[in-house]
């Protein structure tokens, strides 16, 4: 097991390892030295898919250690992040006797983490929060950094706050039951971490996946990506730990998302546009980011920031993974959507570009022509692939 301390105030530990869920209270008490009174109630928030496998082991471990537990099992999906569901959850917390001494434990992916985290942030003006992320995306990204919140009909993540957990436990064994596409989605954020901040991580990912792809097998099916990651246990542990470390380092220097934290948006400016245009239905978040990172890499080459050989190598890696495509994606609507994206700063969009693997910068002065060209190139590539495989 690896322990990473996120150095913000107050700091908290993230524990990453295999089969550690059953030892939740011991790790909390003995390893992390977080002392919780035996009178405190642990209120576990989870969803049906996760509860099926992991609720009983977590509850049993807490009970064996002498803690009281209660739980709620919600219906999975992004719809949970709504004002109606949030208020119902808060009312249920009253009914179940959750108070300011209680501990809210989010057991699940980013949806549970965001919803339960926001509930913990506002319930009785804030109660203690612990995250037990069970998707790869949540383990490497959403459980770290303290962003919690819900959606409004007007847009995603429009209501929320910064509220840090006091403890995070990422059991990599839980990934064995996760759907393959969700694994690819989380992997995109790991690749992003390497590309923006840590070249050795990027090189390791490249070696693992490029050697796994046979010459004619241009794309690695999602089930193979999952098999490969679960088989290479040390690699997975290192990749998750490194990504957490990177996010921790970045938010330590820039907790409230002003400058440095912007580089975490590599691939996201384009990716968010793709998600919005396809109404959050066609692409998982990481899949859209995988496409967005290709556009950002292409733009980095057009801006002469990164040399074309390295840029092409990055594109080759990103194209190994199977992601969806949608006919409604056009250069024009992606550009238009970026324009109305909330990441607009001082009237200009900040594009995160690569100078080299492991080194990203924010760039505001980019011509419309260049953005058009890079989006066009990537969309043409995927259109070409689609035609090839549909036999046109």
Ligand X SMILES: NC(=O)c1ccc[n+]([C@@H]2O[C@H](COP(=O)([O-])OP(=O)(O)OC[C@H]3O[C@@H](n4cnc5c(N)ncnc54)[C@H](O)[C@@H]3O)[C@@H](O)[C@H]2O)c1
Is 76 near ligand X (CB under 6 A)? yes
For ligand X (CB under 6 A), the number of binding residues is 27
Which residue in the set 177, 207, 258, 367 belongs to the binding site for ligand X (CB under 6 A)?
177
C-beta of 96: minimal distance to ligand X in Å? 21
Q: Pick between residue 206 and residue 226 the one whose CB is nearest to ligand X.
A: 226
Query: What three-state secondary structure class fits 42?
Result: strand
- CA 388: distance to chain centroid? 32
Choose one: 26-34, 175-183, 295-303, 313-321; the region binding ligand X (CB under 6 A): 175-183
Does 287 sit near ligand X (CB under 6 A)?
A: no
Main-chain dihedrals φ then ψ at residue 200, nearest 5 degrees: -55, -35
Q: What is the DSSP letter of 361?
A: E
Cβ distance 181 to 222 under 8 Å? yes
Nearest approach in angstroms of CB 217 to ligand X is: 26
What is the end-to-end Cα distance of the chain in Å, rounded?
50
Cis before residue 10, ω within 30 degrees of 0?
Answer: yes
Give the residue, chosen from 6, 14, 74, 110, that forms a contact with ligand X under the rule CB under 6 A. 110
Residue 329 contacts ligand X per CB under 6 A: no
CA-based torsion, 318, 320, 326, 332: positive or negative: positive
Q: CB-wise, 111 or 374, nearer to ligand X?
A: 111
Q: How far is the CB of 298 from ligand X (least distance, A)?
A: 24
Nearer to ligand X, 256 or 392 (CB): 256
How far is 392 from 388, CA to CA, in rounded Å? 6
Per-residue binding string, ligand X, 111-150, x by CB under 6 A, is xx-x-------------------xx-xx--xx--x-x---
DSSP string over 320-358: TB-----TT--HHHHHHHHHTSTTEETTEEPEEEEEETT
Rounded least distance, CB 118 to ligand X, Å: 9
Q: How many other CB atoms are found less than 10 A from the CB of residue 275?
A: 23
Angle at 298 between CA 293 and CA 302, to 5 degrees: 145
108 binds ligand X (CB under 6 A): yes
Residues of span 178-197 touching ligand X by CB under 6 A: 178, 182, 185
Residues making contact with ligand X (CB under 6 A):
47, 49-50, 76, 78, 81, 108-112, 114, 134-135, 137-138, 141-142, 145, 147, 157, 174, 177-178, 182, 185, 285
């Amino acid at each position: 097991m690896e322990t990473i301390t996120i150095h913000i105030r107050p700091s908290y530990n993230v524990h990453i390892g295999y089969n550690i869920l059953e030892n939740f209270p011991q790790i909390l008490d003995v390893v992390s030295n977080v002392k919780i009174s035996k009178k405190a109630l642990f209120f576990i928030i989870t969803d049906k898919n996760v509860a099926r496998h992991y609720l009983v082991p977590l509850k049993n471990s807490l009970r064996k250690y002498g803690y009281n537990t209660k739980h709620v099992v919600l219906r999975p999906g992004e719809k949970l992040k709504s004002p109606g569901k949030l208020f119902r959850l808060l009312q249920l917390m009253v009914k179940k006797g959750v108070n300011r001494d209680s501990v809210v434990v989010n057991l699940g992916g980013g949806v549970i983490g965001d919803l339960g985290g926001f509930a913990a942030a506002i319930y009785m003006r804030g109660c203690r929060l612990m995250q037990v992320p069970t998707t790869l995306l949540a383990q490497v990204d959403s459980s770290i950094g303290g962003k919690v919140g819900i959606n409004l009909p007007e847009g995603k993540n429009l209501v929320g706050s910064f509220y840090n957990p006091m403890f995070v436990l990422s059991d990599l064994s839980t990934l064995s039951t996760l759907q393959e596409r969700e694994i690819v989605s989380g992997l995109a954020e790991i690749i992003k971490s390497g590309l923006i901040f840590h070249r050795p991580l990027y090189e390791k990912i490249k070696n693992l996946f490029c050697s796994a792809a046979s010459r004619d097998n241009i794309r690695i099916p999602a089930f193979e990506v999952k098999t490969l990651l679960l088989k290479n246990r040390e690699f997975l542990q290192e990749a998750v730990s490194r990504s957490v470390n990177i996010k921790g380092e970045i938010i330590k220097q820039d907790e409230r998302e002003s400058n440095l934290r912007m580089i975490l948006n590599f691939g996201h400016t384009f990716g968010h546009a793709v998600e919005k245009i396809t109404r959050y239905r066609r692409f998982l978040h990481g899949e859209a980011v995988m496409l967005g990172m290709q556009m950002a890499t292409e733009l980095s080459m057009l801006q002469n920031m990164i040399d074309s050989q390295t840029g092409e190598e990055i594109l080759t890696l990103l194209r190994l993974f199977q992601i969806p495509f949608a006919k409604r994606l056009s250069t024009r609507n992606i550009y238009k959507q970026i324009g109305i994206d909330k990441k607009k700063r001082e009237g200009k969009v900040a594009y995160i570009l690569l100078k080299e693997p492991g080194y990203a910068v924010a760039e505001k002065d980019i011509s419309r022509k260049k953005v058009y060209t890079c989006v066009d190139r990537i969309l043409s590539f995927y259109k070409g692939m689609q035609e090839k495989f549909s036999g046109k």
